[in-house]
Amino acid sequence: MQDEYRTVAREGVHETEINRSRFLCSLAPAATEREAQEFVARVRREHADATHNCFAYVIGADASVQKASDDGEPGGTAGVPMLQMLLRREVRYAVAVVTRYYGGVKLGAGGLIRAYGGAVGEALDAVGTRTLRRFRRVTLTVDHQRAGRIENDLRTTGRSVTEVRYGERVTIEIGLPDAEVDAFRGWLADATAGEALLELGPEAYGEVEK
């Protein structure tokens, strides 16, 4: 599994003009291939009068699903450079649709490749991305006397505290990179004189705090 990946921060549109042709790049996060396909269909409906609606999407933290379409442009001049831009920027779980309204001036194969790839790159800069990192869900159980100090130590050292529950004892859930589990286990034992319980949960991806 990938340790981290980037995805699109939000749905958005960025427009550029090249030799009188308008290029509108619509970007969106997509958790599944179906979501990506539905977004492509929606953009195509919204711009049914456009000359071309080319798309590319990447699904999976390891980019296991990659699709692209030139939608009538010469083969390899639109969808592929769009896809390559997403991959070059390490963007995953995302879909891009570049809508072209032809302005009367032919761009040639090289010009099209630069235009479509560039439209996606500019849109990523304009809309923004966010980084998600793989972590292990870890549950700590401590007594009330130590809970406040432990929680404070976790937060001040930048740990991602996701939930705190109070009962007979206090349960604190955090996200922890796998590589840090052993060192954290040792720290927790020292900090609580061996009284805290630590349980490892499943892996997930969470946003990296800036």
Which sequence spans correspond to the domains of the chain? 4-127, 131-207
Q: Which amino acid is at 168?
A: E
Instruction: Kindly give, in sequence order, each residue whose CB lies less than 8 Å from that of residue 52, ignoring residues fewer than 6 positions away.
Output: 70, 71, 72, 73, 78, 98, 99, 100, 102
The two tokens of residue 133 are 């990192």
CB atoms within 10 A of CB 156: 8
How would you class 157 by CB atoms within 10 Å of its CB: exposed for 0-12, middle for 13-18, buried for 19 or more? exposed
The tokens 């100090």 sit on which residue? 149
Q: Return the DSSP state at 63.
A: -
Q: Does domain 131-207 have CATH number 3.30.70.240?
A: yes
131-207 has the same fold as 4-127: no
Q: Is the pLDDT of residue 3 over 80?
A: no
C-alpha distances (whole Å) from 128 to each of 125, 137, 169 are 5, 27, 42
Residue 208: which pLDDT band, with cuts at 50, 70 and 90?
low
Gap between the Cα atoms of 10 and 13, Å rounded: 10
> Which of 3.30.230.30, 3.40.50.2020, 3.30.200.20, 3.30.300.30 would CATH assign to domain 4-127?
3.30.230.30
The 10s digit of each residue's pLDDT in 36-88 is: 999 999 999 999 999 999 999 999 999 999 999 999 999 999 999 999 999 99
Specify whether the CB–CB gap between 123 and 27 falls below 8 A: yes
Gap between the Cα atoms of 143 and 126, Å rounded: 48
Question: Mean per-residue pLDDT for 16-21?
Answer: 95
Three-state DSSP class for 38? helix
The span from the first CA to the last CA of the chain, in angstroms, equals 23
How would you class 130 by CB atoms within 10 Å of its CB: exposed for 0-12, middle for 13-18, buried for 19 or more? middle
Of 159, 166, 139, nearest to 206 by C-alpha is 159
Q: Is the pLDDT of residue 1 over 70?
A: no
The 10s digit of each residue's pLDDT in 161-192 is: 889 999 999 999 998 888 889 999 999 999 99
Specify whether the CB–CB gap between 141 and 171 falls below 8 A: yes
Residue 210: which pLDDT band, with cuts at 50, 70 and 90?
very low
The tokens 């990659």 sit on which residue? 66
